Structures are given as structure tokens and as C-alpha cells.
């Protein structure tokens, strides 16, 4: 479990929050070597994803935009009441639509 000070410092790293009419918000976060994303439900952290999901190893997103695109996909799934899990194909498709 994270200490309160660590959580506060980590949330400061949220960069571009995006959402429209959703109870979920996606923020990109700077991590070592790249970006990850955080999904918030109102003000509570629901998901902290520092690495690209569905990919073995600890690969990070190269750009903030990539992290946000995948995070926004997770938000859309949650809005529809679906599980937030992603496949490699869903991630590739989300990143291809740039």
C-alpha cells in the first residue's frame, strides 16, 4: 500500500485529463522512460496502469498521446459496463486511429 505522501506526489504527475459526460477520467502520467495512465472514478483512483497492458514485460507508452488514447478506450469500456481489460488487438487499433 502506498503512503499518503507518495500518492499525493504521484497524482501531481497527471498531465492531460480528458473526459466528456463520463464518471471516469483518464490522465496520462509520466513514468520512467515514458508514460502510463490513471483512470479516476470521480476523484478516486480506479486503475493505475504504468505499463502497456496486454504486453509482456514492463513496456511503457512512448508518448503521452498513446497513453491517453488507450486510457480513453478503457474509460469507454467502463462507461458501457464492460470490464476494463484490453487485448493487444484493441490497443493496436486504438493507437492506429491517430
Per-residue pLDDT tens for 43-90?
899 999 999 999 999 999 999 999 999 999 999 999 999 999 999 999
Q: What is the pTM of this model?
A: 0.79
Structure confidence at residue 1 as a pLDDT band (50, 70, 90)? very low
pLDDT recorded at residue 88: 96
DSSP one-letter string for the chain = ---HHHHHHHHHTEEEEE-SS-SEEEEEEEETTEEEEEEEETTEEEEEE-S-TTSSS-PPBSSHHHHHHHHHHHHHHHHTT------HHHHHHHHHT-
**CA 6/CA 42 separation, integer angstroms:** 20
Contact 32, 40 (CB under 8 A): no
pLDDT recorded at residue 97: 66
Q: Across all residues in the chain, what is the average pLDDT?
A: 83
Amino acid at each position: 500500500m502506498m503512503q499518503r505522501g507518495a500518492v499525493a506526489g504521484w497524482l501531481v504527475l497527471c498531465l492531460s485529463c480528458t473526459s466528456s459526460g463520463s464518471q471516469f477520467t483518464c490522465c496520462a502520467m509520466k513514468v520512467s522512460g515514458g508514460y502510463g495512465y490513471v483512470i479516476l472514478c470521480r476523484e478516486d483512483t480506479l486503475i493505475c496502469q504504468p505499463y502497456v497492458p496486454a504486453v509482456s514485460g514492463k513496456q511503457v507508452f512512448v508518448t503521452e498521446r498513446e497513453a491517453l488514447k488507450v486510457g480513453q478506450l478503457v474509460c469507454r469500456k467502463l462507461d458501457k459496463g464492460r470490464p476494463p481489460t484490453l487485448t493487444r488487438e484493441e490497443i493496436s487499433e486504438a493507437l492506429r486511429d491517430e
